[in-house]
Amino acid sequence: MDKKARLGRGLDALISSGNEGYTTTSSSNVVPVDSIETNPNQPRKTFDPDQLASLEESIRTHGVLQPLVVRQVDGKYQLIAGERRLRASRAAGLVSVPVHVVEFNDQEVVEAALVENIHRSDLNPIEKAMGFKEYLDRYQVTHDQLAKRLGMARTTITNLVALLELATEVQESIRVCQITTGHAKVLKGITDKARQIQICKEIIAKGLSVHATESLTRQLPTDNADASVNYTADLGEEKADHKTNHVRLLEEELCQKI
């Protein structure tokens, strides 16, 4: 079976031991915390401090109950999954942590990081969009090809990536949850980025609903309208009934390993 077909099977193909070229060690190891480097391609850029503090307290009491997933690179370990555990372990003063060592190439590392995070509601839409965009640009695949690799609907990827066409200030407002993806759908129909920012500020200042924002934008000149992108579907968390069996297996496998 070629690599494309294997990748299309999802995370279970990526993480399983001895599965057609994707190999792992047979047992977990304990390694120094300082020997683990974070993954520069981690989609998650922000970490909730309260959640980290709670996890730190749990680790102080019980230790790290499930190993982090890493690969060996130049005599050190690069993190693939479990960054919150790593951060909390460092904060708790641990000098070593359990890890599960896998043999992944660079592309597989990015895919595993995406799959670990994309179905989590606390990963904001902009972080998801940036993760998808970086993968698309680096590996020159289509939205449809990436969707098949991750077991997602193509429209989810297309519409999330389109968020990155919004003004930077608007993207930041989405990232920090000042406006919703419903508001983003409306703002995407405004071609002038300065006007996008203006309306975004008004949404925040007045607490406008999506419906009120639609009414406001209808008063704008017609040359600001752009109906080329359909934002009515798949901007939020992937629905459970869209997940293929291999993605469900992958999530279960990752949960066991991290």
Residues with a known catalytic role: 83
State how far the Cα of 222 lies from the Cα of 210, in Å rounded to an integer: 19
State how far the Cα of 110 lies from the Cα of 41, in Å rounded to an integer: 6
State how far the Cα of 170 lies from the Cα of 172, in Å rounded to an integer: 5
3-state DSSP assignment of residue 167: coil
Q: Count CB neighbours of 224 within 10 A.
A: 14
Contacts of 252 (CB under 8 A, 6+ apart): none
State how far the Cα of 194 lies from the Cα of 56, in Å rounded to an integer: 43
State how far the Cα of 159 lies from the Cα of 162, in Å rounded to an integer: 5
Pairing of strands 29-32, 76-81: unpaired
